[in-house]
Chains A and B, each alone.
Chain A
C-alpha cells in the first residue's frame, strides 16, 4: 500500500536529461546574471556621478536579503523564534576573515586582493577573470558557512524543548555569548609576514604542552600563557582590520541567488511543507508523520549556514571594518524586523523588506522637509482608500468593515502626526536634517503600524508570485 505513491511517481518522473536540465538551469542563470552584473553593470553604474555609493548599497542590500531569507527559514517556516541571527553571521564572518587574511599572508605575502576581475568592486581593472585567490575566497566563505551551520546545530538543540519566548531568550543569549567571546577572548591581529608564517594555525600541540594546566592557574591565566595560534588572533575588541575586499557584485549575486533558490525550492517541496506544518500545528504535524525534531534542527542548520556565508561576504565588503560589536543583538533585530515586516514565511516578502530597510536609512540621511510632505501624501492616500472601502461597504449594505476602519484610523492618525511633525520639525532641525539617527524609532513605528494594519506582515506566508491567484 505504501508503494502506491512510488508506483505513480515512477511513471510521472521526467527522464534524466530533462530533469537534470531543469534542475541546473537556475544555477546557470544565477551565475550568468552575476557575471553580467559584475562585468557590465558595475562599471556602468560606477561611471555615473556617485555611482560607487550605489554599487556599495546594492552589495549591502543583497547581503541583507541573504540574512532575511535565511532567518525566514527558522522564524518563518518552522515558527521558531530565533533572535540571535547576527551571531551566525559573526561566526561566518570571523571564520572567513581569519582564513582569508592569514592565508593571503602565507600564500601571497600580503593581505591585498589577489583575485581576478570577478572579485573586485574597483572599476577599470585589468587581468584574468578568475585566479586561485578567488577559489580561496570561495572556500573561506564555505568554511564560514559550515562553522556557522555547526553553531546552528548546537543552538537548534534547545529548540526541541523550548518554544516561543523561552527559545527567543536562549538564542538572544547565544548571540551575546558569541559576540562577547569574540570581543574579549581573541587577540590583536598580526601584521608581520614572518610572524604569521611562524605562528601555528590551530595550535593543538600547545593545548598539551602548555606549562601549567587549566586546573592549576585558571582559565584566564592559562589562555594568556598560550602562545596564541592564528585562529585566536582575530582582533578582539578593536575589530578585525585590514581584510581584503573580495566581496563583489559577482559573489553577492551568486550567493544571494543560491540562498533564494534553495529557500524557494525548499518551500515548495515535501520538506518545506513539513517545516510549515510545524509552525502551523506541531502536534498535528507529528501525528501526520513529520519528524519535527529532525526538521527543526535542519531549519536551524541551513539558516545558520547561509547567515554564515552572508557574514563572510559582509566581512570582505569595501569600507567594512569587521567588529563583533556591530554584530550583536541590534543587528539581529534589524534582520527580524525585515522578516516580520515582509511577512513571516514569505521569502519574497522578507527580501523586499530587506531591500527597503537597507535603502531607507540612506534615504533618510539627507532628509528634507519635502520628504515629510510626501509621506503626508502617502498617508492621505491610505486614509482615502479607507474612505472608499467604508463607503463601498455602506452602499452594498454590509456596513463598514473592520479593515476599512483600520485603514481610516491609520491614515487619518498618521496624517495628523506627520502634519504636526512637519510643523514642529523645522523649528528644531531646520529644513534639512539627518533622520537616519532616528532609524530605530521609525522601525518601531513601522512595526506598530504593521501590527495594526497587517498583523501577518506585508505578504503573510504568501509569495509575490502567488498574489494574483484566486484564493
Chain B
C-alpha cells in the first residue's frame, strides 16, 4: 500500500506522546429497564491496538453501536479526533473516520466481492451522482482509482482470486476478512472489529493475527477489537478493557488484566 504517513512506528513511540483519536466519557445506554452500558469510558491513541472483552451479554456490541451511531447514548460523550459525534447519523460518523465490522456478518450478499469493497470507497468519493451518470472525466478517474484501490485491498486479504464471485458464496472465514477489507476501504482513522475470529479454524486465526497487525501498521489505523478468543486478544492487544454487565471492571495491559481478581471472577464466577 501507499505510505501516507511518516509517523514513527509503534516500538519507537512512547504512549503518552500519542495523539488521542477516540475519547469516550461517561457513556450510558438503557433499553427500558435494562442498563446495557453504564458510565463507559475509553481512550484510544493513534496507532493503538486495544481489546474490549467481557462475558456474553456484557454489552460489548452495544458499545460498538454507541460509538458508530446506531444507538444514541443516553448520557456521555464520544469524541472522534476531537469532534463530538453527538447527533450524527452512522453515515456521518463513518465519514468522520470510524469503520466497523459486524459480529453477525453483514456483507452485501448479492453484490460481488469487489463491489463490496468498492462500496466502502463510496464515502470518500467526491463526484456527484449526476457526474457519475454523465460520466465526467473526474468521475471516470475516481471510479478507476476506486477499482485499483479495491483490488489492492483484496490482494492484501488474499481475496483477489474471488473478486467477481457473490460475497455470500465465500467461505465463512473469507467473509469475515472481506468485512475488514470493506471497512478499510472507507479510509478509517478508527477501526472497530467485532469478533473477527469467530468461526475461524486455528490456522485461519494465526493468519488473522498477522493480518490485523499488518493492517494496523500499513494503514496506520487505530483498532479496537472485540474478541472471545483470549489467546488472540492477549497476544496482539496492547491494552484491554473488560466489561461486565455494562460496567468497565478492569482496564490495563494484558498481563494486568489477566491477574485482576474481578476479571477472573467475571469469567469464572465467584466460587
Contact = CB atoms under 8 A, between A and B. Distances in A.
Contacts of A291: 89, 91
A348 to B, nearest CB: 16
22 contacts: A1-B189, A2-B124, A5-B145, A6-B126, A12-B140, A13-B141, A20-B137, A269-B139, A270-B139, A270-B143, A273-B119, A277-B108, A277-B119, A281-B108, A284-B107, A287-B70, A288-B91, A288-B119, A288-B120, A288-B182, A288-B186, A469-B164
Interface string B102-125: 100011111100010011111111
Interface string B177-200: 000001100110100000000000
B251 interface: no
A420 interface: no
A98 B118 CA distance: 45
Contacts of B133: 262, 265-266, 269, 271
Interface residues of B, number: 57
Interface of B: 2, 4-5, 68, 70, 89-91, 94-95, 99-100, 102, 106-111, 115, 118-127, 129, 132-146, 148-149, 164-166, 182-183, 186-187, 189, 220
Contacts of A271: 129, 132-133
A427 interface: no
A413 interface: no
Given A270-B143, A281-B106, A471-B165, 7 more contacts: A5-B121, A5-B124, A9-B138, A18-B137, A270-B125, A287-B68, A292-B91
Nearest to A282: B106
**Would you call the interface of chain A mostly helix, strand, loop, or mixed?**
helix
Interface in A12-47: 12-16, 18-20, 22-23
A281 B107 contact: yes
Contacts of B183: 288
Contact of B141 (A10, A273, A469, A471): A10
Contact of A9 (B106, B122, B134, B141): B141
B76 to A, nearest CB: 21
Contacts of B134: 23, 265
B187 A1 contact: yes
B250 to A, nearest CB: 28
A15 B111 contact: no
B69 to A, nearest CB: 8
Contacts of B102: 284, 287
Closest 9 CB pairs of A and B: A13-B141, A289-B123, A19-B137, A269-B132, A289-B94, A280-B108, A8-B145, A9-B141, A271-B129
Contacts of A287: 68, 70, 90-91, 94, 99-100, 102, 106
A16 to B, nearest CB: 6
Contacts, number: 170
Contacts of A1: 4-5, 187, 189, 220
Contacts of B89: 286, 291, 293
A15 B136 CA distance: 10
A280 B70 contact: no
Nearest to B115: A273
Contacts of B99: 287-288
B4 A471 contact: no
B129 A276 contact: no
B132 A266 contact: yes
B265 to A, nearest CB: 34
A274 interface: yes
A288 B107 contact: no
A8 B140 contact: no
A273 B166 contact: no
A9 B144 contact: yes
Given A5-B124, A265-B132, A461-B110, A286 B142 contact: no
